[in-house]
Structures are given as structure tokens and as C-alpha cells.
């Protein structure tokens, strides 16, 4: 019934976009094709050359900073957070502080301030933090990691202000109230009492918990994060290393009620941004745990995507790898940006040709996103940097629009390409060792 309902919704979408309906493509790693970035290039200059035009990171950062200064001038609702832009109405679409995307705008501002030193970016970022501060007590969402770590986490890393540290710890305390030992996971959506829905996006919120153990020495946060990651690895993935967007557990027994298609085309399809959340999420988890199985999972997800027969040559994926009308369907720049940032980090944890390959793939993605096809001209797009992202096609919302999280991970990927910024971003991250009091010690 769910698949039939989705087919009707998708048919309406195809009529709306004017796409041609094509037969669905079966996904299998056995049908993998060689990607352009499989070729080994001897140095970074050659890597960039394979993207047709070398990427000028400084110019891309300056353009991004100018756009966000422009967006600041367009944000007339000063107590709201930019979410997307309606090009037909020429207006920003905004949200309250409790929306899951609220941390991305200030987080991007902090990244851009760090890269360019423009004081107006820091001023706006700090203004937005004041609006977000109350969310540290929000126990009604699993997205407090997105909301608070992407914003206050970057603020703390850059400024070391003690009040930011305190807010982050309280945010972590709020997040762990949603953990259920029976399921081994943190609850995502709030539904009926007998429901316990977990979505792959939730992997991204674990970074806040790992940081909290580093900051406090309390292993509670770390143990919950590892439990969630391990349970998700066990239950969310199919044999071909694609993943389910969501599943519903029995909160009393931990048994799986059912799988949920969520924002993908169907329950059995590979939703592109979900794959990207998984790649980034397990790469980040490995950074903290140094557990080989987490690294192996990140590699499996990366290879599933990069070897997929429906992955375009420029590595900007279609919104779902199983969308039935490929190639006449929407690409998702947000999934590409998340992949680029994740691949840059993943390249640091593998060696040889595999590391080189992940760097080249990330650079190809960035070069494509920085091109006029995906980067908006200055003073347009409501101030957003990137065009052509997809939010939720099954719900018919945010289709082929700019999105705050696309910009955030794009700028993060640009920063990850610069070694000094990559090292700075991860300077607090050390492998833990357990002491006699069952607390986690870190070497600084």
C-alpha cells in the first residue's frame, strides 16, 4: 500500500516537473562501473584538472561569504532562521529555532568567518546563537545535534567561550533522554507510544555525544552513541550496502516492527541523502571510536555510491538512486555536499590508492558544485550559495531549491580540502581510553 501511494505521489511529481517516466533501474554492486575518479593522478594539481576546471577554494569561500552577507541583509524576520528560498516569490523561507535546520545558518557563518575573517559574519553568527540558546533544553527532537553542535560546536571550537561549552553539555543531556536501552537507539520521530522510529539522519547527531564525553570525561554519552551506531549498522543496511531511511522498533522488546520509505522513492530504494548521512556518519563515528567495523561500514557506503550505475559522471547524485525516471529527474546538491565532506575525512583514515581516490572524488564533487550549474550568481538565490537541492519529494516539498544544510556541508567540504582547517576542525578529537572509574580519558 505504501509503495502504491508513493507511486501516485511520484506520478504527480513527474507531471509537475515535466519529467519522463522510465522503467525502474535495478541496483547491484555487481553492475558497478568505473568512475572517472578511479584513475590515479600523481598530485593535487592533476586531480583538480580532471574536474575540467581547477577549483579555486579561496574564490569559492569569498563568493560564499559574500552570499551570506547578502542573505543577512535579506533576513527581515530577525528572530527567524533561513531554511530555503522561493525564487517565484523572491523571498526567504524561514523557521523558528526548534526546526531541525536552525543550526546550519549560524554554523555556516562561523565556518565562513574562520575562512575569511569578515567580522560581520561573526557578528551575525553570535546573534543567531542567542536565538538558539533555549533549544539546549529541547527533549522533543533527536535533531538537537544538528541544531546545537553545528552552531555552538563551531562557536566553541573557534572562541573557547565557557558558556558555549556549558550549553553544548546541556544539549547532550537533552539528547540522551531519547535513548532506549531496549532498542539500543535514540528515538527520532515522536509518534504513537508503541512506535520507536529511527532514521539514518540520526547518525549525524552522535557527534554531539562523542564531544560531550571528551568535554566531561563521562562515558555515558560515548556509550549511547556507540550503541546507536552499532544498532543502526546491524538493522538499517541491506546486503548491497544500501540503507533504509527509517525503521520502526517495538520500544518494549527492540524488535523491528517495519521498514519505512521516509523521504526515498520506496521502502527498498536507496535515497541519496540518506546514503550520504550514512557515509558521513560512520566516518565521524570512526574518528572517535577507532573501531575498524565503523571504518569498514563507511567504506562500504562510499563504494556503494561511487560504483553505482546510476551515479552521474560529475558525482552529483539523483535524489534517489532508484528513481524510476533517471536521468530525467532531479539531482540533489545537498547529498553531494555531504558526500564531499565525508569523503575528504574518510580519505584520512585509509591509505594508498583508496585514499587518493576518495580525495579525487571529493574534489570532483566540489568542482561541480562550485561551477555556475550549481553555484548561484552573486546577489541572487536569496543569498544561498548552492542551487538544485531536494528536500522531500514524497511530501512534495523543497524540490529543486537551495537548502541551508547543502550550503553548510559544501562550505565544510571546502574547508576540509585545506589541511590546516581540517586539523583545526578535529583538534579535540582523540581516541578514548577507559580509566579505572569507567570514564573516558583523552590525550590533548
Complete DSSP assignment for 243-289: B-SEEEE-TTT--EEEEE-TTSSSTTS-BHHHHHHHHHHHHHHHHHH
- The x, y and z cell numbers of residue 132, run together, are 538558539
CB 97, CB 110: distance < 8 Å: no
The catalytically annotated residue of 98, 201, 325, 407 is 201
Helix (H) or strand (E) holding 185: strand 185-186
201 is catalytic: yes
CA distance 369 to 270: 22
Picking from 59, 158, 128, the residue whose alpha carbon sits closest to that of residue 370 is 59
CA distance 236 to 216: 31
What does DSSP say about strands 196-199 and 246-249: parallel, antiparallel, or unpaired? antiparallel
The gap between the terminal CA atoms of the chain, to the nearest Å, is 54
CA 26 to chain centre: 26
CA distance 81 to 174: 22
The catalytically annotated residue of 38, 143, 325, 407 is 143
441 is catalytic: no
**SS3 state at 429:** coil
Catalytic residues: 143, 201
Amino acid at each position: 500500500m505504501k509503495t502504491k501511494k508513493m507511486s501516485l505521489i511520484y506520478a504527480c511529481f513527474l507531471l509537475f516537473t515535466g519529467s519522463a517516466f522510465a522503467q525502474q533501474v535495478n541496483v547491484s554492486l555487481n553492475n558497478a562501473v568505473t568512475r572517472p575518479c578511479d584513475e590515479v593522478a600523481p598530485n593535487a594539481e592533476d586531480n583538480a584538472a580532471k574536474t575540467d576546471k581547477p577549483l579555486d577554494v579561496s574564490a569559492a569561500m569569498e563568493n560564499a561569504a559574500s552570499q551570506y552577507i547578502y542573505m543577512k541583509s535579506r533576513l527581515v524576520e530577525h528572530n527567524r532562521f533561513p531554511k530555503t528560498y522561493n525564487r517565484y516569490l523572491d523571498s526567504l523561507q524561514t523557521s523558528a529555532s526548534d526546526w531541525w535546520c536552525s543550526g546550519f545558518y549560524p554554523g555556516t557563518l562561523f565556518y565562513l568567518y574562520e575562512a575569511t575573517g569578515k567580522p560581520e559574519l561573526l557578528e551575525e553568527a553570535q546573534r543567531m546563537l542567542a536565538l538558539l540558546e533555549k533549544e539546549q533544553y529541547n527533549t522533543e527532537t533527536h535533531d538537537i545535534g544538528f541544531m546545537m553542535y553545528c552552531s555552538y560546536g563551531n562557536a566553541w571550537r573557534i572562541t573557547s567561550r565557557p558558556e558555549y561549552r556549558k550549553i553544548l553539555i546541556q544539549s547532550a543531556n537533552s539528547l540522551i533522554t531519547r535513548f532506549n536501552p531496549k532498542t539500543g537507539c535514540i528515538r527520532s520521530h515522536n509518534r504513537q507510544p508503541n512506535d520507536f522510529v529511527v532514521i539514518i539522519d540520526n547518525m549525524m547527531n552522535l557527534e554531539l555525544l562523542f564531544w560531550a564525553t571528551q568535554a566531561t570525561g563521562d562515558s555515558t554519552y560515548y556509550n549511547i552513541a556507540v550503541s546507536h551506531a552499532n544498532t543502526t549498522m546491524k538493522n538499517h543496511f541491506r546486503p548491497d550496502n544500501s540503507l533504509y531511511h527509517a525503521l520502526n522498533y517495538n520500544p518494549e522488546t527492540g524488535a523491528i516492527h517495519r521498514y519505512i520509505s521516509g523521504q526515498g522513492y520506496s521502502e527498498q530504494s536507496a535515497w541519496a541523502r540518506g546514503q550520504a548521512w550514512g557515509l558521513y556518519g560512520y566516518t565521524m563515528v570512526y574518528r572517535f571510536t577507532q573501531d575498524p567495523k565503523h571504518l569498514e561500514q563507511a567504506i562500504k557506503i562510499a563504494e556503494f555510491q561511487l560504483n553505482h550505475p546510476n551515479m552521474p559522471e560529475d558525482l552529483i547524485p539523483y535524489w534517489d538512486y532508484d528513481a524510476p525516471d533517471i536521468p530525467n529527474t532531479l539531482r540533489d546538491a545537498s547529498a553531494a555536499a555531504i558526500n564531499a565532506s565525508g569523503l575528504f575525512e574518510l580519505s584520512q583514515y585509509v591509505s594508498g590508492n583508496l585514499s587518493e581516490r576518495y580525495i579525487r572524488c571529493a574534489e570532483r564533487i566540489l568542482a561541480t558544485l562550485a561551477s555556475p550549474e550549481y553555484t548561484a550568481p552573486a546577489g541572487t538565490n536569496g543569498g544561498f550559495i548552492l542551487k538544485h537541492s531536494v528536500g522531500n519529494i514524497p511530501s512534495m516539498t523543497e524540490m529543486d531549491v537551495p537548502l541551508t544544510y547543502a550550503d553548510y556541508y559544501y562550505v565544510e567540504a571546502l574547508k576540509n580540502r585545506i589541511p590546516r582547517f581540517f586539523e583545526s576542525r578535529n583538534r579535540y578529537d582523540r581516541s578514548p581510553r577507559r580509566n579505572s572509574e569507567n570514564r573516558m580519558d583523552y590525550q590533548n
